[in-house]
Amino acid sequence: MEAFSYEQHYPFLLDSPILPPTPFEMSLPIQQVGEMNNNSPSCFPYYFSAEAILGVSSVDARAYESSSSLDTATKAPSVESQIAPPSVVIESHDEKVPKHQGSMEKKRKNGDKTCSSSGRSKNVKESKSGKQRKRNCELKGKEEKKPKCDDLKATEAGEEPPPGYIHVRARRGQATDSHSLAERVRREKISERMKMLQGLVPGCDKVTGKALMLDEIINYVQSLQNQVEFLSMKLASTNPSLYDFGVDLDDFMDKPEKMENIPHQLTLVNPTTHFQPTAFDNATNNYQMIDPPVPLLLHCQGPTAFPQDGGSFMIQVGEQRQPILDQFEHNNMSSFQ
Amino acid sequence: MSAFHFLRALSQINKTTPKSSLLLRSRRIRHAAYASMAYTAGRSRLWSRALLRRLQRRSRLRYFSSQRTRAVIAPRRLKAVRPRSGEPSRAEALRRLVPGGAGMDYCSLLDETAHYIQCLSSQVQLMQKVVGSISS
């Protein structure tokens, strides 16, 4: 049952936007769900009737495509799925949830079967798809009243009720009250974030289980913070010597200049930068000896004179550092923007 | 941008703080590193806002304590730590590490952690580069 509810959703994601109602028989082999061939059509009219009647907007089609590409790769949907509208994300993620939360699912299923009409036999369901739809419509109405966590869904449903009403539907065998739907959305968001973190933290992809992953993340953050502390200690201990030798300063100096090549257009740095040349007073004296036109401008004009002259000058002085800095700057900027 | 802010702060620290007190210098450098990081991340992030607020409060405290010798320390708000439902117990440890994590729900905590890790690692890279270029 678990596997069944897990798989049965695939064809819907994959093919419904592209293909008209007929070819779901064809779509199944792609998904290698042959073992449930006899089961799946029974649940399908449900989807397709809704799909065919209401049609799919272009946005939805795109979203479906993205989610389907994710599914075919059998990869965990990660950052990519952020593009898709939230309700679609729900659907694409839902397959994962039952695996993790098996017990909860079962509980829910039981509750569902006892209390509602959705947990009946397939044949009954097939015949009563119209009724089911009506029921989902009600559910959607309930959904809209709920403010938290589903607000995106709710707004979408408010704009274009038909697609919204398709998306937020819980699949067969899953609890359909608004609380468990919201809970499912939340869980699926969390797993998505976890995937994102897994990509960021080295060594995190090897461990399995959320608790171990959290441990890895915590360790990594701690180590980074310790590193910052250690490096600031190191900087504090090494810096004073800089000002005794003006020579050392010029490789310290070329960094602010490099940084200024970027904020060229950013005027907000300008008013504050003027004390920087004064900090490197003896360094500018050094420059003066070598390269007369540059340094005196620094004091009166501030940073605008900096990049062109200083930059070209620094190429002469510290060319061995140039590539390092450039490279560093690239990853710095890319990680921040 | 972060590098620029950080280096500027570094040069200012070098100017102002006495060279003798290593501990003070290192603390100020560390604060500068965090501040530049948070400043670069912008105010749209919860962690950067919390970090900036914390740093601001500290500097204000320092200002007060230097002004009138008696520090005006606001009593820290103690939030009741209750195990939140539906999240692993280790999440509390993560909350303590990520600035502003105490007030986040688990979902956004993970989100902020991801961004925080990115910024922190690039800040560490920057500091390593600075240290390397100085010591070489």
3-state secondary structure chain A: CHHHHHHCCHHHHHHCCCCCCCCHHHHHHHCCCHHHCCCHHHHHHHHHHHHHHHCCCHHHHHHHHHHHHHHHCCCCCCHHHHCCCHHHHHHHHCCCHHHHCHHHHHHHHHHHHHHCCCCCCHHHHHHCHHHHHHHHHHHHHHHHHCCCCCHHHHHHHHHCHHHHHHHCCCCCCCCCCHHHHHHHHHHHHHHHHHHHHHHHCCCCCCCCCHHHHHHHHHHHHHHHHHHHHHHHHHHHHHHHHHCCCHHHHHHHHHHHHHHHHCHHHCHHHHHHCCHHHHHCHHHHHHHHHHCCCCHHHHHHHHHHHHHHHHHHHHHHHCCCCHHHHHHHHHHHHHHHC
Contacts of A312 (CB under 8 A, 6+ apart): none
pLDDT band at B60 (very low <50, low <70, confident <90, very high): confident
Tokens matching residue A236 = 């504090």
Cα separation, A298 vs B108, in Å, equals 45
Residue in chain A lying closest to B130 (CA): A252
Across the interface, whether the CB atoms of B134 and A236 are under 8 A apart is answered no
| Token representation of residue A252 | 């310290």
Residues in chain A closer than 8 A to B125 (CB atoms): 328, 331-332
Given an 8 Å threshold on Cβ–Cβ distance, is B90 in contact with A262?
A: no
Confidence of residue B79 (pLDDT cuts 50, 70, 90): low
Residue of B nearest to A225 (CA): B120
Disruptive mutation site among B6, B110, B111 for chain A (greatest number of A CBs within 10 Å): B110
Q: What is the band of B83 on the pLDDT scale with cuts at 50, 70, 90?
A: low
Mutate to test the interface with B, among A217, A281, A333 (most CBs of B within 10 A): A217
Say if residue B22's pLDDT is above 90.
Answer: no
| 3-state class (DSSP) for residue B108 | helix
How far, in Å, are A7, A151, B132 from residue A96 at the CA level? 10, 23, 46
Highest mean pLDDT among A239-253, A276-290, A299-313: A239-253
The answer on pLDDT for B78 being more than 50 is yes
Position A302 scores a pLDDT of 37
Task: Collect all residues of chain B within an 8 Å Cβ-Cβ radius of residue A248.
Answer: 134
User: Chain B partners of A325 at a C-beta cutoff of 8 Å?
Assistant: 129
The pLDDT score that the predictor gives to residue B76 is 58
Q: Do B126 and A201 touch (CB under 8 A)?
A: no
Whole-angstrom Cα distance, residue A216 to residue A230?
Answer: 21
> What share of chain A in percent tops pLDDT 90?
4
pLDDT of residue A222: 93
Average pLDDT, chain A: 51
Q: Which residue of B has its CA nearest to A188?
A: B107
Give the confidence band of A283 by pLDDT, cuts at 50, 70, 90: very low
Give the count of Cβ contacts less than 8 A between chain A and B: 170
Nearest to residue A122, comparing CAs of A8, A20, A27?
Answer: A8
User: What three-state secondary structure class fits B35?
Assistant: helix
Q: What is the ipTM of this complex?
A: 0.84
**Reported confidence tier of residue A240, pLDDT bands at 50, 70, 90:** low
Rounded distance, CA A178 to CA A169, Å?
A: 10
* Domain boundaries defined on chain A: 179-237
- Write the residue in A215, A228, A262 that is nearest to B124 by C-beta: A228
The pLDDT tens digits for A40-95 are: 444 444 444 444 444 444 444 444 444 444 444 444 444 344 444 444 444 444 44
**DSSP, res B102:** G
The span from the CA of A213 to the CA of A223, in Å, is 15
3-state helix, strand, coil in chain B (%, to 5): 70, 0, 30
Would the pLDDT of A191 be above 80?
yes
- The reported pLDDT for the residue numbered A43 is 40
- Which of A239 and A244 is assigned the larger pLDDT? A239
The predicted structure's pLDDT at residue A273: 37
| CB B110, CB B97: distance < 8 Å | no
Q: Which CATH class is domain A179-237?
A: few secondary structures
Using the beta-carbon criterion (under 8 Å), do B1 and A260 form an inter-chain contact? no
Rounded distance, CA A240 to CA B21, Å? Answer: 11
The arithmetic mean of pLDDT across residues A137-141, rounded, is 44
Assign A304 a pLDDT band (cuts: 50, 70, 90): very low
**A13-50, pLDDT tens digit by residue?**
444 444 444 444 444 444 443 444 444 444 444 444 44
Please tell me which residue, A252 or A304, carries the higher pLDDT value.
A252
Subunit contact B120:A225, Cβ cutoff 8 A? yes
Residues in A closer than 8 angstroms to B51, CB to CB, are: none
pTM (predicted TM-score): 0.47
Q: In terms of pLDDT, which residue wins out, A217 or A3?
A: A217
Contact B113 A211 (CB under 8 A): no
Name which of A298-307, B39-48, B86-95 the model is least confident about. A298-307
Interface touch A197/B129, C-beta < 8 Å? no
What CA–CA distance (Å, rounded) separates A107 from A110? Answer: 5
Residue A113 predicted with pLDDT over 90: no
Q: Output DSSP code: residue B27.
A: H
The nearest alpha carbon in chain B to A104 belongs to B86
Contact B125, A332 (CB under 8 A): yes
Min Cα separation A33/chain B (Å): 33
Both tokens assigned to A135: 């029921």
Mean pLDDT of B24-43: 86
Where do the domains of chain B lie? 2-75+88-135
For residues B129 and A332, the answer to whether their CB atoms sit within 8 Å is no
- Residue of A296 and A133 predicted with greater confidence: A133
